[in-house]
Amino acid sequence: MTFGHAYDEDDEAAPEASTPVWAVFGDLMAGLLGAFVLILVCALGLQLDLAERLKQEVQQRQAEAQRREALERALAGPLAAGRVTLADGRIGISGNVLFAFNSAELQPDGRQLLKSLAGPLAAYLATRDEVLMVSGFTDDRPVRDGGRARFADNWELSAQRALTVTRTLIEDGVPASAVFAAAFGAEQPVASNADAAGRALNRRVEMAPTPRRRAAEAAPR
């Protein structure tokens, strides 16, 4: 009797070994690890960018606080006397102090006030890369003088007042290269024009130090 090995179809498939489970698992883990590392790098980049922006914002706020403190020190006398106001870096002077109604000619008290401001302002500007913007504002009533207008409109009146203040500051020692005039007419009121008290607040001159424009920034594109 001959004993032989029985043929089984599974014998032909036996040599073909399937991919081990641990290898598949390793590939999956490697992919997950790569994705995690990529997410971590992106998160770190965003965090660094946020930290840099926060640092710049803190520096800007510190610089602004130092600028306000410097202005307050420079204008300590006029501020203490209540002759000027200082809010958000803008120096405010009532138009009634500087000019008569519908006039662009300085009154004696206004002339004296500007003379007292010129020295501190010149000293302040000499230590900073800034220029002084002198802005004129009016109330919203038409400019009239007994039925005849001295100025074409409030724009012209505010412009002339700003120019008068600018020229006076230059005469008293503020460098011409460090000051310029701007006119806003009845725009940008700080109070209602419905009553006399509000209109008096809107008739004003403001002076605000602003960063000096570089030649490259001013060149047309």
CATH 3.30.1330.60 for domain 83-214: yes
pLDDT for the residue numbered 59 = 66
Q: Is the pLDDT of residue 18 over 70?
A: no
Q: Is 210 helix (H, G, I), strand (E, B) or coil?
A: strand
pLDDT for the residue numbered 25 = 66
pTM assigned to the model: 0.68
How many other CB atoms are found less than 10 A from the CB of residue 143? Answer: 18
Q: Is the pLDDT of residue 199 over 70?
A: yes
Least confident of 12-26, 57-71, 202-216: 12-26
Name the band, by pLDDT with cuts 50, 70 and 90, for residue 9. low
Q: Taking the domains of the chain in order of start, what are their residue ranges?
A: 20-74, 83-214
Q: Number of C-alpha atoms within 13 angstroms, CB side, residue 178?
A: 19
Name the band, by pLDDT with cuts 50, 70 and 90, for residue 60. low
